Chain A
Amino acid sequence: MSEIIENGVTTGEAVETETFVPESELKEGEDQIHIRNLSKTYITDDSQTVVLEDFSLDIRKGELITIVGPSGCGKTTILRMLAGLVQPTSGQILIGNRECSGPGADRGMVFQDFALFPWRTVRKNVEFGLEIAGIPKEERRQRADKYLKIVGLEKFADHRVHELSGGMKQRVAIARAMVTNPDVILMDEPFGALDAQTRNLMQAGLLRILEKTDQTIIFITHSVDEAVYLSDRIVVLTKRPAKIKEVVNIDWPRPRDRASPEFTALRKRILEELEKENVLD
């Protein structure tokens, strides 16, 4: 059953969606998020771990930027700081002109382990952010259903989360993050827990959803293949404490062909760079 449903993502083109109206005044391509001299040190009783030191990055409105780096380099910490879940030791994050000081509905987040509420139905999960925003019941339902349609799960609106496959769960989580129309969506290895086939389908599905939006996506991944397939820009990080090793611009049209020579060449080059970082010292 789940295979047919996974395919629903790829055949979901017929869904009519309006273009999202951005809340900020920024135009696409302008710098939206400024990460300035960000540092993070975790202090425990007997050790200090510098996860991030003097990290700066500008992220443009509407781009899909992926951050790749060796394991444990602090990618997730960067994302959690952007989400406001972790406070930086020093430095600042500006979103538009506002300083980010805590979590907010202007930034949606998709977690690797889905983080869906098991006691809620699929629709109620998607409605969560709208409930918090105080949107009336009727409109909540309407908007949730619209997004469930976008991710191809409208038939599963009344199901419980545990009845869904991993790929379906993550589509619910994506719908839940997008339904409040945040300026930025933060994705923390969203497809990391899925099998390779589902993962590819989800990547294609995500791109199709994003065609209709101008939301900025910041995407953390382990998979260079995923990064090359999805990104407008790839930020390659060094080992801990993370610094930017390279920023790769990719302006190839989508959908990208994984078998094409330039795709494989780029993937190979980034992988090699990461391998240099992964050397155990």
Chain B
Amino acid sequence: MTTILNWTYDENNRYHRWFRTTVIAIVSLVCFIFAWWDISVLAGSVAIPTPLETWEALVDLVNNGDPMTGRSLWQYIGSSLKTFLLGFLMALVVATPLGLIIGYSRTIREFMNPVIEVLRPIAPIAWAPIFILAIDYTIGPILVVFVGIFFPLLTNVVFGVQKIDQNLMDAARTMGASSVQVFYKVMIPSAIPYLMNGVKVGLGIGWMCIVAAELYAPQLSGIGFYLSEQATAGFWPGAFAAIVVIAILGIVTTGLAEYIHKVITRRMGMSNV
């Protein structure tokens, strides 16, 4: 127990715990900003702007947009989010049924595994030049995001199906359920928490992919394009401002995914997964 100004910290009080975490997080971020500032001043390089310069560039970007293209920050973000969402939805629609089938059937699993194991270790960004230059600059980045999210989703769903409690399936069968009924009344609900876990991991990776993919697709005008445009022009504070925007959006997406994961697993009574 720590006493600060007549206030006693209580580990069992959730608000106290929350307050403690928040205070430490703020201190951590402040330390980070000072460290950044220090490096910037010590290095004395224009390529490392100070936090203040970055902040000013960010405010300018929010208020006036990009003078070079005449686009606003929101247009950049909107474009990136659209690509991201489309890639995510595609991955969800393809990986979920495929994962269920691969997890369910040994033959299909043995058939698909070699292909998956060959493709999985390839960094999604490695596909960017091929997809974007060979296919199309709008579809390309979507495919890169798709690849990034697809594999964590797939492996989690396959794992989820294989981890299903055999007793639950036996119980369903003793109540007369057919294989098809066992599949959609037991296997699919059992796999959902694992699917959500895949979504959580996949969103983080997908978000990393989108920015990289946009570097190859200037026509898309996503936030990644703004970053490369500013850096190419030598407007370092602007480039750093873009990185701050990317970081904030990344935190929001993964935070959202974690929240959804928590709500769904709790509602399903499977929060131990």
Contact = CB atoms under 8 A, between A and B. Distances in A.
Interface of A: 83-85, 103-105, 107-109, 111, 113, 115-119, 128-129, 131-133, 160-163, 176-177, 180, 186
Contacts of B85: none
Contact of B175 (A132, A162, A186): A132
A142 B270 CA distance: 27
A119 B175 contact: no
A132 B177 contact: yes
Contacts of A119: 189-190, 192, 268-270
Interface in B143-189: 165, 167-168, 170-177, 181, 185-186, 189
Nearest to B170: A85
Contacts of A176: 175
B167 A113 contact: yes
Contacts of A115: 165, 167-168, 170-171
A111 B270 contact: no
21 contacts: A83-B174, A84-B174, A103-B170, A103-B174, A103-B176, A104-B176, A109-B170, A109-B174, A113-B167, A115-B168, A117-B168, A117-B189, A118-B269, A119-B192, A119-B269, A128-B185, A129-B176, A132-B176, A133-B176, A160-B269, A176-B175
Contacts of A111: 167, 170-171
B171 A109 contact: yes
B186 A117 contact: yes
A119 B266 CA distance: 9
| List of 5 A-B pairs having minimum Cβ-Cβ separation, nearest first | A105-B176, A129-B175, A119-B268, A115-B171, A115-B167
Given A108-B175, A115-B165, 14 more contacts: A83-B174, A84-B173, A84-B174, A104-B174, A109-B170, A115-B171, A117-B168, A128-B185, A129-B176, A132-B176, A132-B177, A133-B176, A160-B269, A161-B269
Contacts, number: 65
Interface in B78-137: none
Contacts of A85: 170, 173-174
A113 B175 CA distance: 17
Question: What's the dominant secondary structure at chain B's contact region?
Answer: helix
A103 B167 CA distance: 13
A68 to B, nearest CB: 22
Contacts of A160: 269
Contacts of B270: 118-119
A98 B167 CA distance: 26
Contacts of B185: 128, 131
Contacts of A132: 172, 175-177, 181
Contacts of A133: 176
A104 B167 CA distance: 16
Nearest to B268: A119
Contacts of A129: 175-176
Contacts of B174: 83-85, 103-104, 107-109, 177, 186
A103 B170 CA distance: 9
Contacts of B168: 115, 117
A265 B192 CA distance: 53
Nearest to B192: A119
Nearest to A186: B174
A64 to B, nearest CB: 19
A84 B172 CA distance: 12
Nearest to B165: A115
A177 B176 CA distance: 11
B266 to A, nearest CB: 9
A180 B175 contact: yes
B270 to A, nearest CB: 5
A118 B268 contact: yes
Nearest to A113: B167
Interface string B190-223: 1010000000000000000000000000000000
Contacts of A107: 174
A128 B190 CA distance: 15
Contacts of A116: 171
Contacts of B189: 117, 119
Nearest to A129: B175
A248 to B, nearest CB: 28
B238 to A, nearest CB: 49
B206 to A, nearest CB: 27
B267 to A, nearest CB: 8
Contacts of B167: 111, 113, 115
**Residue of B165, B167, B270 with highest tally of chain A CB at under 10 A:** B167
A84 B175 CA distance: 11
A262 to B, nearest CB: 36
A76 to B, nearest CB: 12
Interface string B242-273: 00000000000000000000000000111000
B163 to A, nearest CB: 13
Contacts of B176: 103-105, 129, 132-133, 180
